[in-house]
């Protein structure tokens, strides 16, 4: 699994350097992250790369390696992974979500996105997150799948839900 992370800070300082400070208002974004699905493309190895865009008003996206303490971030805690992709299959016209059980050897499609650090005086962030999903299907008789995606920030604010496009299993 590979996670690529690109961010761009809303920086009033850079606007001032261009002489545009009076023309550009400071962005007023909510503290909850907002995500948007961009793509879920097949790569050369048969895996897929998931790309989502995000914005966050208070700039606290991502978890560092040392963010591992209870009650929120320990390895068995609910928020140890801050990007959750819930696997869904189209079964008889309805989307059915699987609750994968790691105890039974089923690995959920959960990821730890590293911290994004805002630059300048404004903490707001926007950027993209790319996840290399080498394994992305489950064995079943159904052929159409998608993922429901949710991002959590360090304050445990939950994003909106985004969905990948529908793809056919190989």
User: Where do we find the tokens 């008889």?
Assistant: 92
pLDDT in tens, 143-168: 999 999 999 999 999 999 999 999 99
Structural domain including 67 reads 2-168
Q: How many domains does the chain have?
A: 1
Q: Kindly report, residue by residue over 89-123, the tens digit of the pLDDT.
A: 999 999 999 888 777 778 899 999 999 888 888 88
pLDDT band of 6, cuts 50, 70, 90: low
Give the per-residue pLDDT at 121.
Answer: 82
């Amino acid at each position: 699994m590979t996670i690529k992370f690109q961010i761009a800070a809303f920086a009033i300082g850079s606007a001032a350097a261009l002489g545009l400070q009076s023309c550009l208002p400071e962005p007023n974004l909510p503290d909850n992250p907002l995500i948007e699905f961009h793509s879920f493309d097949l790569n050369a190895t048969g895996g897929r790369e998931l790309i989502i865009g995000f914005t966050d008003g208070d700039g606290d996206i991502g978890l560092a390696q040392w963010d591992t303490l209870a009650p929120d971030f320990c390895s068995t805690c609910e928020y140890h992974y801050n990007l959750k992709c819930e696997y869904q299959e189209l079964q008889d016209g309805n989307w059915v979500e699987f609750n994968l059980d790691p105890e039974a050897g089923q690995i959920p499609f959960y990821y730890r996105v590293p911290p994004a650090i805002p630059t300048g005086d404004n903490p707001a962030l926007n950027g993209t997150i790319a996840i290399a999903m080498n394994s992305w299907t489950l064995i079943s008789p159904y052929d159409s799948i998608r993922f429901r995606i949710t991002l959590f920030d360090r304050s445990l604010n939950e994003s909106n839900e985004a969905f990948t496009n529908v793809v056919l299993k190989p």
